[in-house]
Structure 1
């Protein structure tokens, strides 16, 4: 992995305001983005171009999540609404009306028909993905719940809260397991490793914690960025993961020993983001990483070894 090669494949321009979230599409060569403007956008990675507006919105989009094995996209917005949009017909399938504050994170399971929304109101709602009826809702924190991670075996659900703590729940019945002190400032990103051995947490304190899921003890803690760690994403098959930050950089790390492999930033000679990098997504179409940020750009990176 010391020979990791990075090349900028292209820039997807069209958003008029900061982009907050990016999600892989229903087809391999498609990605969706949303942010502080009037629509969820579909991009074509084969043409490296704008494809269409999937769904118009009146409020900022903070979360996008494609339901596994379906053409259905869940959209979380500033008004507290969750919307289910059919990505082929652009039809609004359902409104998930429960939260009164912004929805910041959305995740679903592969083994059961359930969708989880987390909100600034400190609560979580769970919805049936067949009927889109509300199944459960419960309070996780007195403050914002910013991020959700589901373990690869789908036994655990972790929530990252504004109080700097990880709240760990059983994915079977949503019973509370334990609270894990993690950061001195709000948690802004969570990710389980694909092999299930680790839970990675990133925060506004610019720290990255690596927890052993055998007992959720901290294996390592370090400062990967100068400012907030907004995203942590593992590569689908290479033993690496990427982090994105408010410090305008993306960093690629070894999944085996957590060594820093490459830095993507203006300072390192890349034609990269000029403002905060808010989210990233690995896409398997051409083994690419897509990053989005406050500079209104979505950038596509070829990353190979």
Structure 2
């Protein structure tokens, strides 16, 4: 596959490193958050700053927009999960349970449940209708860094700092399988859109490809020089991207898992010069957005030629 790669814009305004990036309700809306005191809303049509949507008390480590409820959830370093309702155009009462950082947030739309992973080794589960806590899972003695939910929403994976991946059934949260391939903390995970594959990245710079049915290992790739902080599939092309602490973005064939292209300063691109902490594809376009330690959001246009 031949790709056209262009840098559309560099969004500046953050005063500190950016840790998370998320799509908004509209295709042109983008959210970023980090070691600043607020979640920033950007306009991708005008490529400019819109406003601070949500003021916070501590660093933002995670953000998740749920299109079914039209609600944005934001996880902080202090354990608080903020809620912003776009229907009501206001902040709702935060979810309070964790006392340590919330590193990832995901939703099970069929069950109408929210899942939040924390440094305390627990995953809290909340009702999306009432925002009441239903229960929690004691996953590990160490940080739960990342969550991945299968496309059929029957399986959920939790990636931990102890280098293990814990697989559960979503119907009753019964334990399904323990996956142990990484030798260092698991920092990113995703299922392929067709549900055939499960991918994980870690601090060991590895990218592992598994069969999503039984989680048997298909391929072992040394994908980067340092931590793999993001794995994200293109919304319509058969490729996915990885972002790393080594300051590079890599584009991979979704069927063969072969490397297609590397985007980095060393490869001649006007790219990140510090760690890339998160990547996300715009749901409705060829835009890939990457954020990192140099306080900037890079907007890339990546399309097939």
* TM-score > 0.5 by shorter chain: yes
TM-score relative to the length of structure 1: 0.98
1:74-89 → structure 2 map (5 Å cutoff): 74-87=73-86
Distance between the aligned counterparts of 2:245 and 2:208, measured in 1? 17
Query: 1:20: which partner in 2?
Result: 19
Q: More displaced, 90-99 or 159-168?
A: 90-99
Q: Which residue of 1 aligns with 2:103?
A: 104
Pairing 1:167-182 to 2, within 5 Å after superposition? 167-182=166-181
Closer, same or farther: CA 10–89 of 1 in aligned 2, 3 Å: farther
Structure 1 residue aligned with 2:123: 124
Equivalent positions of 1:96-245 (< 5 A) are: 96-245=95-244
Cα gap change, 1:284 to 1:168, in 2 (>3 Å): closer
Could you say what the CA RMSD is over the residues aligned between the two structures, in angstroms? 1.1
Q: Residues 103-158 of structure 1: CA distance to partner in whole angstroms, max 9, x if unpaired?
A: 00000023221000000000000000110000111200110000000000101000
DSSP 3-state at the match of 2:134: strand
**Counterpart mapping for 1:210-289 below 5 A:** 210-289=209-288
Do the aligned residues in 2 keep the contact of 1:182 with 1:201 (CA within 8 Å)? Answer: no
Deviation at 1:170, TM superposition (A): 0.4
Aligned length: 304
- Aligned counterparts of 2:159 and 2:225: Cα–Cα separation in 1: 20
CA displacement 1:178-215 (0-9 Å, x = unmatched): 11102100000010111111110100000011111222
Residues 79, 118 of structure 2: 8 Å contact kept: yes
Bigger shift: 217-226 or 79-88? 79-88
Contact 1:146 1:160 in 2 (8 A): yes
* 2:23/2:283 contact within 8 Å kept: no
- State the 1:285 CA deviation: 4.3
- Tell me the CA shift for residue 88 of structure 1: 6.5
Cα shift at 1:38: 1.0
- Which runs of structure 1 show a deviation greater than 3 angstroms over 4 or more consecutive aligned residues? 87-90
Mapped partners of 2:17, 2:212: distance in 1 = 35
1:58 maps onto 2:57 in alignment:
yes
Gaps of 5+ in 2: none
- CA shift, 1:86, in A, is 2.2
Q: CA deviation at 1:87?
A: 4.1
Counterpart contact for 2:16–2:34, Cα < 8 Å: yes
Structure 1: segments with no counterpart, 5+ residues: none
